[in-house]
Structure 1
Amino acid sequence: MQNHEKSEKFRQIVENKFQIYNSLFMSLPYDKMSNIGMLLPFLYEESKAGYEKGKTPEEIVEEFFASHTSLESEEQKTELLFKIIQYIERQVVLFDSIEDASFAELHPAGESGTLLNLYDRAVQQDLLAAVREKMKDFGVRVVFTAHPTQFYPSSVQRILHDLRSAIMKDSVTEIDMLLQQLGKTPFLNREKPTPFDEALSIIFYLRYVYYDSLGELYAQIKYRFADKDFTPPHDILQLGFWPGGDRDGNPFVTAETTLKVADELYSSVLKSYYEHLKKLRRRLSFSGVSELLAALSDELYDAIFREQTITSDRILMTVSEAQQILLQKHNGLFKDLLDDFEDRVKIFGTHFATLDIRQDSRVHQSVIDEIINKKSGMEFENISTEEKLQWLLETDTVLDPEDFEDVTRDTLRNIRNIKAIQKKNGQRGLSRYIISNSDQIKDVLNVFGLFRLCGYSEDEINIDIVPLFETMEGLDAGEDVMRQLYALPVYRKHLERRGNQQTIMLGFSDGTKDGGYLKANWEIYETKEQLTKAADEKGIRVIFFDGRGGPPARGGGKTHDFYASQGKTIANNKIEITIQGQTITSVFGNKDQAKFNFEQLLTAGIENDVFKNTKKDLTEAERKLIEELAEISFEKYSQLKAHPMFVPYLQEMSTLEYYGKTNIGSRPTKRAGSSELKFEDLRAIPFVGSWSQLKQNVPGFFGFGFAVNELKKQGRFDEVKALYKGSDFFKTLVLNSMMSMNKSYFPLTYYMKNNEKFGDFWTVIFDEYTLSRDLMLELSGFRMLMEEEPLSRKSVKIREKIVLPLLSIQQFALMKIQKGEGNRDVYEKLVMRSLFGNINASRNSA
């Protein structure tokens, strides 16, 4: 479909449906919400016209009250604003559901990045054998995290799920009933979710989306690419899982939590098998087969509800027996259904998704220090880092966790529990330990040493130890750290036992927060090149695991284009990414979306190796130019970070301090426990999210336009244009930055330019936005931002229209708080409620 056709199709099947169902929605008899549907358009119009005239959010909201209501008291007015927020939250869910239900129609099977497109290209270019060869040793792993960017309560999740189905059937009666249910169902978590609650939220998707979507997608891969000599490996599609295992900065994740979540993953996949088997037995009712499947069903039931255990090998053995009887006695009737079940068991095992452990290197160091101080017999004050490591790697001491307290005890308990989890869920159930804030060799060796202290012999450490390089310092140190590790005999032996394979994680979110958009992306690109070379020289297969958030400011954006643009200098053995918050629901939230986006990742990695494209590999001149732009933009971004108003602006003028009060995630919003807010303690998600709420999206563009303009002033703009046309990597960065700017709306905060304290700082940001926007358009030749992406552009436009009144309410409340006017407690609640609605509406949050 051409851009115009796509745009028209979106208008017909999304925009028009939204208008129809929204009119139905407006007439529903919601408690305390009567007339809101009629008042809301007035607040939208007041906002739109008011911002264009330079009015403040306070003036806009007060004029709305004066012109369209007879309310006088502050209490009446704020009550109405709460009702409007509730109403808009439900409009967002309705639009989400309509857009999601239309996904398959908007994305035909043969478009770029799909399996069908890959197959057709491979056939046309006689590269089918090369694609099969690549598939033998390639895979995609999507790792679900519980980072707090969106969590509907589970009751709302289920309505969303059913509403999509009803919209796909155009069942007006069912839609009407579900909209009524939506109106009467609370959208707020009354309390902060626990890590276990977060795990259950995502396990819902495992059971009701990914069990089928990955099973069906594997069947398509097999159908297209299998032949008599090749069957696609079942681990070509993998799921990872962080809730319950990620304790970085989250004191609520304990060893007990990890065990509990592992058990839940185990029982959940068995429930999926049990349900699948129930359907299977309707068809496979033949003598010999039916008895085997009934017995397997009983075994699964006992494992789910009676604390028996069952292994995937045991399930597969029964399936194999049934297949043989089916072939020998029943002409192989319905064997394809049994084969599909077998494939699911091989994909999901008894683990469903691989649970990762993650902890900060500084926490490990404090644990090691306490252990050495208590158990080594050495004078702790005089021990060097080298001596600590030597003791750690040579001691035969085995610790009892109960000899310690708090974090040390919990860390040791957790490592001891890994054996039990692997025994029950299989080794794929928990197979790696990730270390945040890695920048030294000791960060990896500390974890290796902790396993030894917990009684593991070296050949029992069936875990990949994964450093996470995420700050500028960490990325700079990455190559040196890995070269030292590869040269160390004890670690090299560990790698040999792990198949000479090393996973390394790179943090886009913290990298961007630390270094700015362009610098972070380029730094990670170069770091990957260096790490690839270091691994290749030692015969080690390196796998990169990218900590990418939803928005471009956290490494998200156009994912297929990003991975398809990686050149030959970067290892392409597997694509692994984190998916979090609203990206789970918006990008992988239903079967069609999940299949499509898994396809996009899979084909990006395969295309990169199989199809020739000179735009993937950077020339020396292109590298130097990106390096120059990255350094200039980094300097500009660093100046902004160093501005004395940077942190105060976020603290006083944005929603930063309200993130932790929204009850959407279990984790604190900053790492340190002190009351003073420091830049280095800010977590990337509330940091990026606060800029998003302000509709300023600074981390997604700041410094980029300045860097391009510096070269333009030197008469070198043609060089940058040639880079944009000649490098897929650079073009993707530009397009992703455009996405951030397209979701910016500076008229919302025009009033800040007159603020005595922050006016100059606001102007610095606005000027850079204007410069970046104008130069990106000139560079690309576009007339508007995101010109090549009509579907995303139209979706953003409608969402921005829905939430504009919500933004007005939020800024109105913030202004009241800043001025110290009225009931502060009520206005803070308004900020939090509108923040929650905006987060859910943003889908990719920037």
Structure 2
Amino acid sequence: MLNDQKIEKFRQIVENKFQIYNSLFMSLPYDKMTNIGMLLPFLYEESKDGYQLGKSPEEIVEEFFQKHTELETEDQKLELLFKIIQYIERQVVLFDSIEDAAFQQLHKESDSGTVMNLYERATQEHHLNAIRKKMDDFAIKIVFTAHPTQFYPNAVQRIIHDLRDAIIHDSVTQIDTLLQQLGKTPFVNKERPTPLDEAMSIIYYLRYVYYQSIGELYRKIKQVYGTSNFTPSTDIVQLGFWPGGDRDGNPFVTADITLKVAEELRISILKDYYGHLKNVRRRLSFRGVSDILEKLSKKLYASIFQKDITISSEEIISQLDEAENILVEQHNGLFRDVLDDYRDRVKIFGTHFATLDIRQDSRIHQKVIDDIFVKVSGMTADSKSNEEKIIYLLESGRVLNPDDFEDEMTCETLKSIYNIKMIQERNGERGMHRYIISNSDEVKDVMNVYAMMKLCGYSDDEVNIDIVPLFETMEGLDKSEEVMKTLYSNAVYKKHLQRRNRRQFIMLGFSDGTKDGGYLKANWQIYTSKEKLTKVSEDNEIKVIFFDGRGGPPARGGGKTHDFYASQGNTIANNQIELTIQGQTITSVFGNKDQAKFNFEQLLTAGIENDVFKSIKKDLNDHERGLISELAEKSYQTYSDLKAHPMFVPYLQEMSTLEYYGRTNIGSRPSKRGAGSELKFEDLRAIPFVGSWAQLKQNVPGFFGFGSALKALKDEGRFEEVKELYKGSDFFKTLVLNSMMSMNKTYFPLTYYMRNHEKFGEFWNILFSEFSLSKEMMLELTGYKILMQEEPINRKSIKIRERIVLPLLSIQQYALMKIQKNEGNREAYEKLVMRSLFGNINASRNSA
């Protein structure tokens, strides 16, 4: 009944509004687009009916031209297809804006996973003190990355922001005007964005969304849980930042870019403080108080616009404390809450706004160490072991000058290390305190970074950096326990951890893990690795903080984030929840103040619930462990066989959009690691890899192998065991439901034409067979009649989005078929493929 009410509400405030405002498109003054709004439904119907009859995208699009247009030349047809793409892109934005505007009406303050819901539950079960105790030493951290899963130009982002507000107020005139602006505003970057462009794009969200949403959320937590004896820590919600600091595979991120981004972060938060202070001064206009605040305002202004003037967060807080004393002693503490709120923001965001991380690949560090060793010693790189090289270099007493090295990567790496001190001086230590090492699987990967800092002249006490190994491949995850055990007993590293308050960050890569091991195996491997790393850290009295490299869709570790973290048992350290977000996850889950606040709350309560409210469904018993492990291994074998198929990489290269990701101006980072022309599986980036499967509407990394594993146990007469596992384990249930989400966004009829393909027919049939099996097995396991049965709103949203983009998918596949056959204007068809990437990517937001 409740589900029916939710669907009806969604129909009224989202679906109906979309139909009404979509009709405004009919009258938009697009160049040569007056009849697009009327033609598009015909292309949708031709696609929907055609695929069910087994027609190919080429047949469908050609029949559309024949039946519904009088176009004859290829150029005319191509022009129409480009116009349809532009039209659909804007429909996606309109639907996003309507759905975002409805957020508050679809969610309540007391919904499951909110701060208020947690308070009510804790009050009833007498756990309030336990909640406060957990809050005292717990935090969540969202780390923004520039990974290109979506990239609206800044101008479009601003229109989306304004459109959402206009829809909330049902201002038809303003909506009409904004849709006209949207129609005239380019959606595609003429040039590839630089890392600085990417940083500025996300800083926009920091300034106009997160300054308010996190500030308001903290005030709410303080009001609900604060007492005379307890004030929640201002560190309870934190932000991290990768654009400009993530050098892994991105040659465009230089040491200079890192400095510029750090400065932009500092200036941006000071601008927010300056603007906020104007409102504070409007209330605190009292003698003595106003003088201090005016002086502070002038110092903030000078720090924004004059390079030689800086202000620290301690200095700002000191002046606010001084103002508060006068306010209390002379003015009855009037509007003290206004001053309190402002000071809390300064404590939360400091002068850094978000912590800028540095990230680089371990293999690059090894090359740098080798280059330094050859330069300093005059010996060859292979003349000594890595440990011997480091001992030799440190004993040489040399302090390196980056400009002495001809190799650009060595020079840039050393400059980045020198920059750490400069950034910490201007932005505070919170501004940069982590160095993340991709592809970590050995002790030397961590020690190389420590050695490089020493070689750049840092004394032991000055290494104010947390060195963070990122374990992401199956091999890396396998080795992680032994690596950390060895590091914890290393005399040098032990002392370093002592200086870092015995705290170790460890990052785990869901995206590359899934690419490497398949969905079920990767998630189970990460779970068990976390358990082992928790134990080895506790044995060494180290507080371990896990940092998850999660993407938007389930295939990249995304999906139901709250459910995922709430399902972790007590065998996994729960000191902090940290995860990466990017692209459509930023805009769809944290894209406006209401959504961001709600989803920050969901994460926060997931971590707190996990410790305070014990449940047997969170802790796996030996039998459940054995069962998941068995399923994971069977799934891994099926996925590994697929990966080993000789058509695996060629299929992606020739039949998907993989080759086109790197050619779109969607992000600054190349779509693959390695400079060679030959495409190797290990060089594939997780985003274009998962994204290409999504564009084909096959979503292979989100389910492949799961169905075979379930069927194997069913054939052994053990399916009741799996059903009991599903009912009894929150963790396993979350994996099943996330995989269902991947399958719900799958549409194999789009590529039915491939089943008889001379080269790839057999491979396509393997994919389709596993999809059909996985769907059948999961429905039987859950007892559902349809996928995502218990999530009516998400299911409805996905259905509407899939309907919007179906013509776009037809156009994309049509263009790919023309390219494969080498027919017509190849350059134009390649542009069609690239342009249709954007709308498809931007529409796929129900993934986290």
Q: TM-score range by the shorter chain?
A: over 0.9
SS for the counterpart of 2:505 is: strand
Residue 34 of structure 1 is matched in structure 2 by 34
Q: Distance in 2 between matches of 1:36 and 1:841?
A: 20
1:780-827 deviations in whole A, cap 9, x for unaligned? Answer: 111111111111111100000000000000000000000010000000
Query: Offset at 1:377?
Result: 4.7
- Opposite residue 666 of structure 2, the aligned amino acid is I
- Listed as ranges, the matches of 1:544-559 within 5 Å are 544-559=546-561
State the distance in 2 between where 1:789 and 1:669 align. 34
Q: CA deviation at 1:392?
A: 4.5
SS of 2:229's equivalent in the other structure is coil
Aligned residues of 2:373 and 2:389 also touching (Cα < 8 A): yes
Once the 2 structures are TM-superposed, how far is the Cα of residue 283 of structure 1 from its aligned partner? Answer: 1.4
Q: C-alpha displacement at 1:836, in angstroms?
A: 1.2
What is the CA distance between 1:845 and its match in structure 2? 6.5
Q: How does 1:640-659 map to 2 (within 5 A)?
A: 640-659=642-661
TM-fit CA distance, 1:662? 1.0
**Map of 2:366 onto structure 1:** 365
In structure 2, what residue type is equivalent to 1:763? N
358-367 or 785-794, which moves further after superposition?
785-794
SS of structure 2 residue aligned to 1:772: helix
What one-letter code is carried by the residue in structure 2 that aligns with 1:604? Answer: A
Amino acid at match of 1:590: N
Question: 1:139, 1:373 → 2: CA distance?
Answer: 44
Distance 1:614 1:676 in 2: 50
CA contact (8 A) 2:394 2:455 kept: no
Please state whether the residue corresponding to 1:206 is helix, strand or coil: helix
Q: Distance in 1 between matches of 2:450 and 2:508?
A: 20
Q: What residue in structure 2 maps to residue 211 of structure 1? A: 211
CA contact (8 A) 2:240 2:357 kept: yes
Q: How does 1:36-185 map to 2 (within 5 A)?
A: 36-185=36-185
Partners of 1:170 and 1:380 in 2: how far apart? 68
Q: Following TM superposition, by how much is the alpha carbon of 1:388 offset from its aligned partner in structure 2, in angstroms?
A: 2.0
* Aligned mates of 1:281, 1:790 — CA distance in 2: 47
Aligned-pair CA distance for 1:286: 1.2
**Greater mean deviation of Cα atoms: 781-790 or 562-571:** 781-790
Instruction: State whether structure 2 residue 800 is matched by structure 1 residue 798.
Output: yes
3-state SS, counterpart of residue 235 of structure 2: helix
Deviation sequence 1:321-354 (CA, Å, 0-9, x none): 1111111111111111110000000000000000
In structure 1, C-alpha distance between the alignment counterparts of 2:454 and 2:624, rounded to whole Å: 47
Tell me the TM-score normalized by structure 2: 0.99
Matched-pair contact (CA < 8 Å) for 1:152–1:188: yes
Question: Residues 145 and 579 of structure 1 are in contact (CA less than 8 Å); yes or no, is this contact kept in structure 2?
Answer: yes
Output the amino acid matched with 2:318. Answer: M
Pairing of 1:423-822 with structure 2 (within 5 A) = 423-822=425-824
Report SS of the residue matched to 1:8: helix
Output the amino acid matched with 1:444: V
Judge conservation of contact 2:142–2:581 (CA < 8 Å) in 1.
yes
Q: Distance in 1 between matches of 2:566 and 2:6?
A: 23
Q: Displacement of 1:389 after TM fit?
A: 3.4
Letter in 1 for 2:197: D
Q: How far off its partner does 1:26 sit?
A: 2.0
Q: Separation in 2 of the partners of 1:160 and 1:392?
A: 54
Aligned-partner SS, 1:544: strand
CA distance in 2, matches of 1:503, 1:730: 26
Matched residues in 1 for 2:517 and 2:390: separation?
31
Q: Deviations over 1:253-283 (max 9, x none)?
A: 0000000000000000000000101111111
Tell me how far apart the structure 2 counterparts of residues 796 and 844 of structure 1 sit (CA, whole Å): 7
Q: Which amino acid aligns with 2:750?
A: L
Question: AA paired with 1:68?
Answer: H
| Correspondence for 2:294 | 294
Q: In the TM superposition, what whole-angstrom CA distance separates every residue of 1:406-460 from its partner, at most 9, and x where no partner exists?
A: 0101111110011110000000000000000000000000000000000000110
Q: Contact (CA 8 Å) 1:392, 1:446: kept in 2 or not?
A: no
Q: Which aligned segments of 4 or more residues in structure 1 are displaced greater than 4 angstroms?
A: 392-395
Question: 3-state SS of the aligned residue for 2:158?
Answer: helix
Q: Hey, what does 2:344 align to over in structure 1?
A: 343
The TM-score, its normalising length taken from structure 1, stands at: 0.99
Once residues 691 and 381 of structure 1 are traced to their aligned partners in structure 2, the CA distance between those partners, rounded to angstroms, is 41
Cα gap change, 1:689 to 1:845, in 2 (>3 Å): farther
Report 1:365-404 matches (<5 A).
Answer: 365-404=366-405
Residue type of the alignment partner of 2:623: A
Kindly tell me the number of residue pairs found equivalent between the two proteins: 846
State the one-letter code of the partner of 2:631: L
Deviation at 1:390, TM superposition (A): 2.7
Change in 2 beyond 3 A, CA 1:787/1:490: same
1:246 aligned residue: 246
Counterparts of 1:275 and 1:288, CA distance in 2: 21
Could you tell me which amino acid in structure 2 is paired with residue 72 of structure 1?
A: E
* 3-state DSSP of counterpart to 1:503: strand
Q: How far off is 1:25 after superposition?
A: 2.0
Query: Does the aligned pair in 2 maintain the 1:141–1:237 contact within 8 Å?
Result: yes
Q: Over aligned residue pairs, what C-alpha RMSD do you find? A: 0.9
TM-fit CA distance, 1:643: 0.3
User: What SS class does the counterpart of residue 55 from structure 1 fall into?
Assistant: coil
Letter in 1 for 2:161: H
Q: Distance in 2 between matches of 1:678 and 1:377?
A: 35
Conservation of the 8 A alpha-carbon contact between 1:692 and 1:845: no
One-letter identity of the residue aligned with 1:382: S
Tell me the secondary structure at the aligned position of residue 54 of structure 2.
coil
1:707 counterpart letter in structure 2: A
Paired letter, 1:198: E
1:396: Cα distance to partner?
2.1
Q: Give unmatched runs, 5+ long, in structure 1.
A: none
Q: Do 1:495 and 1:501's aligned partners in 2 also have CA atoms closer than 8 Å? A: yes
CA distance in 2, matches of 1:647, 1:259: 39
**CA offset digits 1:620-647 (Å, max 9, x no partner):** 0000000000000000000000000000
Aligned-pair identity (%): 73
Preserved CA contact (<8 Å) 2:439 2:476: yes
SS at match of 2:143: strand
> Aligned equivalents of 2:211 and 2:174: distance in 1?
26
Q: CA deviation at 1:82?
A: 0.2
Q: Deviations over 1:449-494 (max 9, x none)?
A: 0000000001100000000000000000000000000001110000
Provide Cα deviations, 1:169-197, integer angstroms capped at 9, x if missing partner.
11111111100000000000000000000
| Cα deviation, residue 393, structure 1 | 5.0
| One-letter amino acid of the structure 2 residue matched with residue 455 of structure 1 | G
Q: Report which stretch shifted further, 576-585 or 378-387.
A: 378-387
Q: Report the alpha carbon displacement of residue 379 of structure 1 after superposing the two structures with TM.
A: 4.7
Partner residue, 1:13? 13
Aligned twin of 1:2 = 2
Alignment of 1:196-207 (within 5 A): 196-207=196-207
After superposition, give the CA deviation of every residue in 1:631-683 in whole Å (9 maximum; x if it has no partner): 00000000000000000000000000000111010000000111111101100
| Cα deviation digits, residues 375-415 of structure 1 (max 9, x gap) | 13545432123312333454422101110130101111110
Match of 2:236 in 1: 236
Match of 1:572, SS state, is coil
Tell me which moved more, 480-489 or 385-394.
385-394
Deviations 1:229-256 (A, max 9, x none): 1100010000000000000000000000
> Aligned to 1:602, what secondary structure does the other structure show?
helix
Question: SS at 2:144's partner residue?
Answer: strand
SS in 2 for 1:550: coil
1:223 aligned residue: 223
More displaced 10-residue stretch of structure 1: 288-297 or 48-57: 288-297
- Give CA deviations for 1:74-100 in whole Å, capped at 9, x if unaligned: 000000000000000000000000001
The Cα of 1:24 is off from its aligned counterpart by 1.3
Query: Is 1:839–1:845's contact at 8 Å kept on the other side of the alignment?
Result: no
- The one-letter amino acid paired with 1:718 is E
Amino acid of the residue matched to residue 788 of structure 1?
E
* Structure 2 counterpart of 1:103, one-letter code: F
